[in-house]
Amino acid sequence: MWGRSFSSITSSTRNALKDKKWDVIVVGGGHNGLTAAAYLARAGLSIAVLERRHLIGGAAVTEELIPGFKFSRCSYLHSLLRPTIVRELELMRHGLKLLKPMASSFTPCLDGRYLLLGLNDQRDHLEISKFSRLDADAYPRYEIQLQKFCKFMDFLLDSRTPETFHGDSSFNNQLRDKWHKSVFWASCLRHALSLGQKDMVEFIDLLLSPTSKVLNKWFESDVLKATLAGDAIIGSMVSIQTSGSGYVLLHHVMGETDGDRNIWSHVEGGMGSISVAISNAAKEAGAYIVTDAEVSQLVVEESGRVNGVLLADGTQVYSSIVLSNATPYTTFMDLVPHSLLPEDFLRAIKNSDYSSGTTKINVAVDRLPHFQCCKLGHPEVGPQHTATIRIGSESMEEIDSACQDAWNGIPSRRPVMEMTIPSSLDKTISSPGKHVVSLFTQYTPYKPSDGSWEDPTYRESYASRCFKLIDEYAPNFSSSIIGYDMLTPPDLEREFGLTGGNIFHGAMGLDSLFFMRPVKGWSDYRTPVRGLYMCGSGSHPGGGVMGAPGRNAALVVLHDLTQH
């Protein structure tokens, strides 16, 4: 149902694509590609978006895989989408509706206790005091410091990097380039000075440190530390003991909903509604969006400039500008002739870290799970059901052990899970009394040493392991299951084009951010192929349903067009 308003490849569509030269072609109809298309179409350019799958959205997609149950199949919560994009593209007018949870985080414990955060400041203090009075007093100071850092990050997220200029250019263009860099660094310095030296040192310490060090400095309660540490390992194969994992912790608290920081909201209709809202803005501006249109290769003139793309069915679509929303690996290893790329660039793309420890399980259930530790007196939906529920996160040691299993080649024996129940707030995705449960599980190696994800029995054993772990906290969860859909790292790669199953289009370590994303020397969305730009999560500022790479890339294209 989510693809019905878009053209799929038919003879008339094929003719419409090939009978004109487009100003810009966008390869991939994920949320970043759609964002770039919307900004470029609003600037008056003719845009064709080509999506390989039968529906748009990439990893921000809603699919009805079990009759009556609509799953946010990959990404599952909203927070990181840049407020500038929501405002500039008028996404609320285009159908985006956010549903704030009653609480932000719920961690059940096997000893009968629980930690429920996000109701209000007073309740947070009471909840944390159950485990440590010192931590309850420290928690507001921790939140305030992270919010300071997030304000600094806002500037970086909405800016393109001041990358070294590539190629020949006129004196005037070089002057403009130097002016842009000067403005960027002046703004960066101003933001750094506003933090002050003490906070700037703390900020650098957070970026470089292991998550365990950051949280041990602030807190003593293992349950609170483990609850917060969950944000530092999302979508990665890193441990909370890994240096630099502190940045991922920050990355996942710098989002907002309606101006409120670190609020992860559900989206009415599922995450596909974000992509549909962006596509509505793009279509209103004149963008042409086509599904079932797989791009097989880039077409490049003898001069070395892009001249369009070739589809898998043999259709050639012409344009002198192409934006790729595919992963860097797919773009440069599969779509671009290697002879056009510098050896060091190709080597860097090939050897980038695309590893992932993520398996997503979408579950249809016939009743809400009831956690035996949490008896709040709600007859049906309680605040705990609307929150991010952290399973297997009672201690830092538990998280570390789960990672060590994967490093040893086997799926975690006790997986770390983020469990969300979007139907607790969204009545459009399941029938009354029935619910949609999303399980974001870690850690699962791409190629396990003790079996294969291609083996149905092996797959089922991992899903059963996850369900039985939930049963320990919410008895009879397994018996409530109507059906489920499971996406292991190879599934995420095959179905959604996520190289290695990495949900961020590449690791988010400090060696893969800012000037280093996707590789050193090419962080400004431009590529060694003239006319080819990157606009996906593999470019600055990285992954998550953020839209910033798409917006920033579009602004770079518009800037370059004014220079010619």
- Please give the structure tokens belonging to residue 407: 């490093």
Q: Do the beta carbons of residue 502 and residue 509 sit within 8 Å? A: no
Q: What is the pLDDT of residue 325?
A: 98
Same domain, 166 and 253: yes
Final residue belonging to a domain, choices 496, 515, 531 = 496
How confident is the model at residue 157, as a pLDDT? 87
Residue 78 in any domain: the answer is no
Query: 271, 259, 220: which is closest to 97 by C-alpha?
Result: 271
Dist CA 420 CA 18 (whole Å): 44
Report if residue 124 sits inside a domain.
Answer: no
Domain residues for 367?
A: 354-496
Distance CA 167, CA 97 (A): 44
In a domain, 320, yes or no: yes
Residue 47 has pLDDT above 60, yes or no: yes
CB-based burial, 142-175: b 16+ in 10 Å, e otherwise: beeebebbbebbbebbbbbbbbebeeeeeeeeee
Minimum mean pLDDT range among 27-31, 177-181, 464-468: 177-181
Cα–Cα distance for residue pair 407/412, rounded to 1 Å: 9
- Cβ neighbours of residue 20 under 8 Å, at least 6 residues apart? 46, 318
Same domain for 376 and 311? no
User: HEC profile for 324-383?
Assistant: ECCCHHHHHHHHCCHHHCCHHHHHHHHCCCCCCCEEEEEEEECCCCCCCCCCCCCCCCCH
CA dist., res. 525 & res. 554, Å (int):
9
DSSP result, 240-252? TTSTTHHHHHHHT
Same domain, 472 and 523: no
Pairing mode, strands 260-261 and 256-257: antiparallel
In this prediction, residue 522 carries a pLDDT of: 95
The tokens for 170 are 């006129």
Pick the last residue of a domain from 462, 496, 530: 496
Same structural domain for residues 535 and 458?
no
| Distance (Å) of CA 506 to CA 354, 424, 517 | 5, 32, 9
Structure tokens at 143: 């939140």
Output the pLDDT for position 82: 94
Q: Is residue 359 part of a domain?
A: yes
Could you tell me what percentage of the chain is helix, strand and coil, using 3-state DSSP and rounding each to the nearest 5?
Answer: 40, 20, 40
Domains identified in the chain, total number: 3
Contact 289, 7 (CB under 8 A): yes
The pLDDT, as a whole number, for residue 5 is 47
Domain match, 345 and 373 both:
no
Question: How much is the pLDDT for 479?
Answer: 97
Residue from 190, 159, 154, 89 nearest 556 by CA: 159
- Domain end, chosen from 496, 518, 550, is at 496
Task: List 316's β-bridge partners, or say none.
Answer: 310
Same domain, 395 and 416: yes
Q: What is the pTM of this model?
A: 0.94
Same domain, 370 and 476: yes
Q: Which residues pair with 7 in a beta bridge?
A: 290
Helix or strand run (H / E) with residue 557: helix 548-562
**CB-CB contact of 53 with 300 (8 Å):** no
497 alpha carbon, distance to own chain's centre:
14
What confidence category does residue 452 fall into, taking pLDDT thresholds of 50, 70 and 90?
A: very high
In a domain, 132, yes or no: no
Domain identity same for 224 and 341: no
- pLDDT above 70 as % of the chain: 96
Q: 3-class SS at 560?
A: helix
For residues 184 and 209, membership in a common domain is answered with yes
Q: In Å, how far from its chain's centre is CA 532? A: 23
SS3 state of residue 45: coil
Q: Locate 145 and state its tokens.
A: 């410091």
Residue 11 maps to a domain: yes
Q: Is 16 inside a domain boundary?
A: yes
Q: Same domain for 383 and 342?
A: no
In this structure, are 491 and 360 located in the same domain? yes
Q: Tell me whether residue 99 is in a domain.
A: no
Backbone angles phi, psi at 359, to 5 degrees: -125, 125
Residue 370 has pLDDT above 70, yes or no: yes
Statement to judge: residues 155 and 38 lie in one domain: no
Residues 293-309: tens digit of each pLDDT:
999 999 999 898 999 99
Tokens of residue 117, six digits: 């955060």
CATH value at residue 335: 3.50.50.60
